[in-house]
Amino acid sequence: MNKIYISTIAAALLSTGAFAQSNNIKDAFANGKVSGDITLYGESTNASGANDDSGFTMGSIGVGYETDSLNGFKGAVAFRTNHKFSEQEKGDYSDGSDPEAAMSTANISYANDYATIIAGRQEIDLEWMSDFHEAVVGAITIIPDTTLVIGHSTRFMAVDNDGALEKMADIGDDGASVIDVKYEGLENTVINPYFMHADDLFSAYGLKATTSIAGIDLTAHYAKTNEDDSNTEDGSIAHLEIGTSIADISLAAGYITTDRDGAIGSLDTLGENIDPFEDGGDVYGTDADSYYVTAGTEISSIALNAFYGSTTSGEDNDKNSEIFMTIGTEIAENLELELLVSSVNAENSDDDTEKVALTASYSF
């Protein structure tokens, strides 16, 4: 399944700078924008063997506000509250330690024609750093065809509308830093080297390249860690994907492999952007090899997506496979409905699952 790859800080560059702005603080607040969503979500999983079936239903409300620009400055806040309606077995939704509400965003940003800086609680979407962070992040575009992102985060958490909220967690004692470069000077090509470091935890470096040639989309990605803990093996991962479109159908196939001894190390500690599976597949396991194919199309405003993938991992080459399909449509203005059906075929048949999930979301 194709992943969207654009950092929030880079997206901010597109919405600031040369655009009109307010002349005073009063106008900046009066011309600010409110956005949000109201979401209902439910899932049910049929388990095999002696495992219990599971499921839960919940509601989520998210509200955000961003001021208009004043001399390049903006302020933004956002909140989300999640509430469990039911769960089939105790603990299916959460262990009870989750907060009922979370402040996902609270920051001040400054932007001009050459850079954007955001300080405070914000969403980050880089290859191995995602979700919501307390961070300072800057994106510099002074070099032609290049976006240089430099950031430092001290804490992070996930804030989703389809599961329990999380509490902010510290990133070691001194946080984590990242340098991410995207060069787009070649036609239809993005070259993306990056480096990240979490003091006393790990360092990692990687290179991702995407290009499109004669209607064929190609992705090549490699990353490796240097672990600070002597008891943890260094890890690595390589990812290749090829995709194209035939008529109105998008097709893609990919291969993912991890280190024979160290799997991916600590690469996914702060988030990830590669794993295409919904529930099955030990993609980041030790000595794992994963293959997958995807297909997607839209018929009369109904979006259809299908996925099949399999993974072999570990000394015994345990094999797990998954197939899932999503069907989504807008049933009214700003009201979207999505159905997901998945099936996991595990090495141990007692771990086989059948899952159905339904999401209804109204955005404003």
pLDDT score at 91: 94
Instruction: Give the residue extent of every domain in the chain.
Output: 8-363
Q: Which two tokens stand for residue 71?
A: 């001399």
Task: Give per-residue pLDDT as tens, 234-269.
Answer: 999 999 999 999 999 999 999 999 999 999 999 999
CA–CA distance, 74 with 83 (Å, rounded to integer): 31
pLDDT attached to residue 18: 43
Q: What mean pLDDT is reported for the chain?
A: 93
Residue 207 CA to residue 37 CA, distance in Å, equals: 35
Secondary structure of 7-48 in the HEC alphabet?
A: CHHHHHHHCCCCCCCECCHHHHHHCCEEEEEEEEEEEEEEEC
In angstroms, rounded to a whole number, what is the distance separating the alpha carbons of residues 41 and 310?
A: 27
Q: Residue 310, Cα to own-chain centre: how many angstroms?
A: 21
The CATH-assigned architecture of domain 8-363 is Beta Barrel (2.40)
Q: What is the dihedral of CA 324, 325, 331, 336, to 10 degrees?
A: 40
Q: For the segment 295-337, what is each residue's pLDDT rounded down to a tens digit?
A: 999 999 999 999 999 999 988 899 999 999 999 999 999 999 9
Q: What are the residue ranges in the chain where pLDDT is below 50? A: 1-6, 10, 13-19
Q: What is the CA radius of gyration of the chain?
A: 21
DSSP 139-193: EE--STTEEEEEEEEEEEE---SSS-----EE-TTT-EEEEEEEE--STTEEEEE
Output the pLDDT for position 11. 53
Note the pLDDT of residue 349: 87
| pLDDT score for 1 | 39
